[in-house]
Amino acid sequence: MQFDAEKEIGKFLSGLRAAQGEIGKTYYRWRHTALEIAGEGVKPLDVGLKAAEIFGKDIGKGLLPRLNWLKGEAAFMLTLGRSLADLWVVDGGVATAEKGEKPSEVFIRCTRDPWPTWAKEFGVPMQEVALCRERMLKSILEDVSVFFNILLDIEVQKAIPRGEGMWQIRLYKKEK
């Protein structure tokens, strides 16, 4: 039997996209379940923000072994920025990280984000999607900041869920 590389790659990509879709949908299924268990009086945004914080903390701890300061500030910041951009890529998005004008600054841009589509399927407001992404990224930076003894922050300049066509996030080192 002859091997058809194109067909095999197509099968692989199809399976990958299906898995990526299930990841996002599982998050929103979990959110729905948490809201049902919590009962009335609990704000859906509070549940989403808490989940984003928990996810961010866990992801941040996973990034620590991959980060180092040996090649200097600019390389450290770019590596961190690429790691944050890769969060979208893993989910099926299109994202990049680029150096800013200063060594302590990186711009993360995402032009395709599957999360708003998944959120829409579950009736989640777009404002919540934007706020949760921001909270998750800030939570990731908390442990990284402590571990490397530098204050890191982000500034969301554009967001797809706000109808701005792309995500643009400035990652930067805050002055002490």
Q: State the pLDDT confidence band at 159, using cuts at 50, 70 and 90.
A: very high
The tokens describing 135, both together, are: 């909270």
Q: How far apart are CA 94 and CA 86, in angstroms?
A: 9
Q: How confident is the model at residue 164 (pLDDT cuts 50, 70, 90)?
A: very high
Specify the DSSP class assigned to residue 158: E
| R_g of the chain, CA atoms, integer Å | 18
Q: What total number of domains does the chain contain?
A: 1
CATH code at position 129: 3.30.1380
Task: Tell me which residue range forms the domain holding 30.
Answer: 5-173
Whole-model pTM?
0.89
Span 87-93, average pLDDT? 91
39 or 1, higher pLDDT: 39
Helix, strand, or coil (residue 170): strand
pLDDT at 11: 82
Distance CA 57, CA 51 (A): 10
Helix (H, G, I), strand (E, B) or coil at 68: coil
What's the rounded Cα separation, in Å, for the pair 153 and 162? 21
